[in-house]
Structure 1
Amino acid sequence: MSIRSAGIILMTVLLAGCASGPKADVTGQRIRVLEQQQALAAIARDRAALEKIFAPDFQIVNPSGAVATKEELLALLLGGTSPYRSAVYQTDTVRVYRDVVVTTGLETVVPNTGAQAGQNVRRRITQVWRREGSDWRLALRHATIVAP
């Protein structure tokens, strides 16, 4: 088998996993709504909403490169002083792969504490959502600071 033939077969297999059409559009819209709910729940410190959004094995890679679990992130968001004064989330792309969705977006937060307290901080976000029954749960989030 030639390299070209192997490449064509590989591309066909990969593209077969990508959903398109009305079902993918509905899923994409659902994920966009969930991403807005996630931002609102974090600001509101709504534990029940966050528990429903985050998968049990959720992980986040924060802008400093540290990895945190669902429990560690919930402790940060819900304990002591709220880490954020405000948050605005914009979903840029949604890619549906059957029971997994990968999104990219731009988040602007205003921290309450730390060196950037009171300032707009922009982050580029990648998120991985996984279907669990009829629900979508956030499994992985990666954030990178966007230079001003």
Structure 2
Amino acid sequence: MDTIDPRAGSRGGNTRELVGEALDTAIAAHPALAAVLAASDAVDRAIVTGDKATFLATLADDCVVNTPGNRVAGKAQIADFFERGQIDYAYYHKRIEHLEPYGPNVLVMGEETYVPRDGTSSPPTVSRRFTDLWRTDGDRWVIAIRQATIFHISPGGAD
């Protein structure tokens, strides 16, 4: 298991966890996987630090997201969600359970847990399953397709 914890001062922090020895083997065999993990870490940090430019740079211009709000959204709508504070987390943890090349792309699947900045003193903790399909855009990796489904919300103050 690999864990990072890049704390972002008062804005919050994010962590990433790789689950299973098979992922370590896959990363060693496919250098693109390490590049996608780095890009994934960057977008996760951008969410907790409020870095809209970095966040948007990790989305393909033609990306499609099936949102946890049960809507299909493109990049412009996702940018609007970010601007309105709907994508603003005090804490974010990504547990990667599946990571593999998928043709010229990379498929990442797992679970995310986050605490939104909702203006209350005791925000809820939200857990969701996710699937991201990353592809290259020039010399960088971007999210082309994303699916996220909430499966549990713990009331504020609960773990």
Q: TM-score, normalised by structure 1?
A: 0.73
Matching residue's letter, 1:136 = W
Higher strand proportion, which one?
2
The range that moved more, 72-81 or 39-48, is 72-81
Counterpart of 1:71?
76
How far the C-alpha of 1:111 sits from its partner, in A, is: 1.8
Task: Give % identity.
Answer: 26
Counterpart of 1:6?
none
Structure 1 runs of 4+ aligned residues shifted over 6 Å read 20-23
- Structure 2, unmatched stretches of 5+, are 1-24, 154-159
Counterpart of 2:15?
none
Counterpart of 1:141?
146
C-alpha distance in structure 2 between counterparts of 1:132 and 1:66, whole Å: 25
Residues 72, 24 of structure 1: alpha-carbon distance in 2 compared, 3 angstrom cutoff: farther
Matching residue's letter, 1:39 = D
Counterpart of 2:115?
110
Q: 1:85 aligns with which of 80, 83, 90?
A: 90
Residues 25, 112 of structure 1: alpha-carbon distance in 2 compared, 3 angstrom cutoff: same
Q: Which one has the largest radius of gyration?
A: 1
Q: Does 1:44 align with 2:53?
A: no
Counterpart of 1:8?
none
Q: Does 1:59 align with 2:64?
A: yes
Residues 105, 135 of structure 1: alpha-carbon distance in 2 compared, 3 angstrom cutoff: same
Residue 35 of structure 1 aligns to a residue whose secondary structure is helix
C-alpha distance in structure 1 between counterparts of 2:39 and 2:79, whole Å: 17
- Structure 1, unmatched stretches of 5+, are 1-19
Higher helix proportion, which one?
1
C-alpha distance in structure 1 between counterparts of 2:151 and 2:127, whole Å: 5
Matching residue's letter, 1:86 = Y
Aligned residues: 128
Residue 147 of structure 1 aligns to a residue whose secondary structure is strand
